[in-house]
Structure 1
Amino acid sequence: MITVLNGLPTGVVGFQANGKLTAEDYTGVLEPALAAAGADGGKIRVLLDFGGEFEGMEAGAAWQDLQMGVREWSAWERIALVTDHAWMRDGLSMFAWAVPGEVRAFPGAERDAAIDWLAAD
C-alpha cells in the first residue's frame, strides 16, 4: 500500500510504502499525485519512504512502475529513497544510471536529510 505524505516542502511530493505494492497503488495514488506535482510542467522531486513493513511488489505494480518512469522521463529531477533495506539501497546504487534525474539513498534515520536534499536549490 502507498500513502501520500503531507507536510513536505513546496516542490517535494512524498510517499510511504507498506506491505505489498499493487498496480492499483500506482494508478490510484502515485500517478495522480505525481501528475498534480508536475502539472505546471516543472520538475518533480520525490521522497520514497520504504519503511520496515515493505513486502515487495506484485507483477502489475512493477509494470506500472516501469511505465510511469518512462512516460515522464524528463520531469524527474530528484528522487530520494529512504529505507533500511540494504538490498534496496544497493539496487539503487547499481542502477542509478538508468534512473532519470539525481537519485540518492538514505537510511531511515536520515529521512530529514533526504527531505532537505530534495528541497535544496
Structure 2
Amino acid sequence: MFRIIEGMPPDVLAIEATGKITHEDYHNTLIPKAEAMMAKGPIRMLYVIGKQFAGFELEALWDDGKLGLKHWHDFSHIAVVADQPWLRAAVVMFTPFFHGDVRIFGLAELDAAKTWIKDRKRTAA
C-alpha cells in the first residue's frame, strides 16, 4: 500500500510504499493524487520504499511504467529513498528517460532526501 507522507510543500507528492504494492494501490491512491497535483503544474516527488516493502504485483509495475511514460514531463524532481539494490539499479537505469532531476538516497538518508526535495524549485515542464 501507499502511505502519504504529510508535512511537505503543496507541489510535493510524498509517498511511502509498504507491504505489497498492487494495481489497486496505483489506481485508488497514487494516480489520482499525482494527476490532481499535476493539473496545477509540474510536481516534485519523494518516493520512499520502506523497510516493510514486500514487492510489486506485476500489474502494479505496469501501472508505474504507464504513469511514468504518460507524465514523464510532469515530474520536475524525484527523490527515491530505497535500500534494495535491484530498485536502486532500476532507478539508475531509467533515470535518463526522466525529464526532471532524479536522486537516489538510502533509508538512513531520508531526512536528507526530504530536505533535497523541499529545496528544489518548481520548474516548467
Question: TM-score, normalization: structure 2?
Answer: 0.87
Counterpart residue number, 1:48: 47
Contact 2:73 2:98 in 1 (8 A): no
Poorly superposed stretches of 4+, deviation over 2 Å? none
CA-CA distance at 1:109 after TM superposition: 1.6
Counterpart residue number, 1:60: 59
Q: CA RMSD in A?
A: 1.4
Q: 1:7-46 counterparts in 2 under 5 A?
A: 7-40=7-40, 42-46=41-45
Contact 1:89 1:105 in 2 (8 A): yes
Partners of 2:68 and 2:15 in 1: how far apart?
15
Unaligned ranges ≥5, structure 1: none
Partners of 1:6 and 1:39 in 2: how far apart?
20
Counterpart residue number, 1:5: 5
Percent identity between the two aligned chains: 38
Contact 2:8 2:14 in 1 (8 A): yes
Counterpart residue number, 1:102: 101
Q: How many residues align?
A: 120
Unaligned ranges ≥5, structure 2: none
Structure 2 letter corresponding to 1:38: M
SS in structure 1 at match of 2:13: strand
